[in-house]
């Protein structure tokens, strides 16, 4: 669906607010529906006519928001039962909009799709997927160069937040035998490390290591 869309967002919490902001900045027409009056008052300074007070699972409120001409209705509240009913009511009463629901409890995802919600988004699931990825990435040691027919390697490791050596100085570390740090890449900068060099998350560490010591070095990082 290209071009400008009309998108109704139910729930002006953190997710709804930022989504609305983003869509408006992209040039779309947006209506935020929020039940809490003081939240509406606070946000109307910023959203003007693009926010209204009401219970988004009520047919009258959705009608007033113009659900019959909306392209998408997104339910972003923190309560799955509200998000489900918003989407179901939209599907039953207004033929046009696609419905998207935020799923707070990942176990509800299957239920939602089975009950006529077009798409559902679970932050917990997304974050979990990222953590899984991070765990894998943390394990990854990229061999850059092999010397002496594979006996000695130059490897690169990107430090995760959970790395043992983050916030530690080289002089305080005991390196595995036959290994040495040769460079630390921090953003655009390349640091030639010495005793006082302190590691930070996301540093890319280059090390020269004998193959026999590689597992020990991996463990340390």
Partner 1 sequence: MRVMIVGCGRVGSVLANRLDEAGHQVVVLDRNQQAFRRLSEKFSGRRIVGNGLVEEYVRPTLQEEADILFAMTDKDNVNLMIVQRVKRHFQLGRVVAVVHDSILAGLYKELGVETVCPTDLVIKDLLQMITES
Contact set with partner 1 (CB under 8 A) = 57-60, 79-82, 84-85, 88-89, 92-93, 107, 111, 114-115
Cβ 116 to partner 1 shortest distance, Å: 9
Query: In angstroms, rounded to a whole number, what is the distance separating the alpha carbons of residues 97 and 6?
Result: 9
Q: Which is nearer to partner 1, 2 or 114 (CB)?
A: 114
Q: Which is nearer to partner 1, 91 or 218 (CB)?
A: 91
Query: In angstroms, rounded to a whole number, what is the distance separating the alpha carbons of residues 65 and 67?
Result: 6
Q: Which is nearer to partner 1, 89 or 206 (CB)?
A: 89
DSSP string, 12-50: -SHHHHHHHHHHHHTT-EEEEEES-HHHHHHHHHHHGGG
Q: CA-CA distances (angstroms) from residue 29 to 3, 148, 194?
A: 11, 63, 56
Residue 176 burial (CB < 10 Å; 0-12/13-18/19+)? middle
Directed axis angle between helix 14-25 and helix 37-47, to 10°? Answer: 20
Residues in the chain: 221
Cβ 14 to partner 1 shortest distance, Å: 21
Cβ 115 to partner 1 shortest distance, Å: 6
Cβ 82 to partner 1 shortest distance, Å: 5
Q: Which is nearer to partner 1, 104 or 160 (CB)?
A: 104
Q: Which is nearer to partner 1, 55 or 158 (CB)?
A: 55
Query: In angstroms, rounded to a whole number, what is the distance separating the alpha carbons of residues 53 and 7?
Result: 16
Cβ 90 to partner 1 shortest distance, Å: 11
């Amino acid at each position: 669906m290209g071009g400008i869309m009309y998108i109704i967002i139910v729930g002006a919490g953190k997710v709804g607010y930022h989504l609305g902001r983003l869509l408006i900045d992209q040039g779309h027409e947006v209506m935020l529906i929020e039940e809490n009056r003081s939240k509406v008052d606070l946000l109307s300074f910023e959203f003007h006519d693009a926010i209204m007070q009401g219970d988004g699972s009520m047919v009258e409120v959705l009608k007033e928001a113009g659900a019959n001409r909306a392209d998408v209705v997104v339910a972003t509240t923190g309560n799955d039962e509200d998000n489900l009913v918003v989407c179901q009511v939209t599907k039953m009463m207004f033929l046009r909009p696609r419905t998207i629901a935020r799923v707070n409890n990942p176990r509800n995802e299957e239920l939602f799709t089975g009950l006529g919600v077009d798409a559902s988004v679970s932050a917990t699931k997304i974050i979990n997927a990222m953590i899984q990825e991070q765990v894998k990435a943390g394990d990854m040691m990229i061999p850059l160069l092999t010397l002496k027919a594979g006996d000695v390697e130059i490897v690169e490791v990107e430090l995760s937040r959970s790395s043992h050596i983050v916030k530690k100085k080289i002089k305080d570390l005991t390196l595995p035998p036959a290994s040495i740090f040769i460079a630390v890449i921090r953003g655009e900068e390349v640091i030639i490390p010495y005793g006082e060099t302190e590691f930070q998350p996301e540093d890319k560490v280059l090390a020269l290591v004998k193959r026999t010591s590689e597992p020990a070095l991996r463990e340390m990082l």
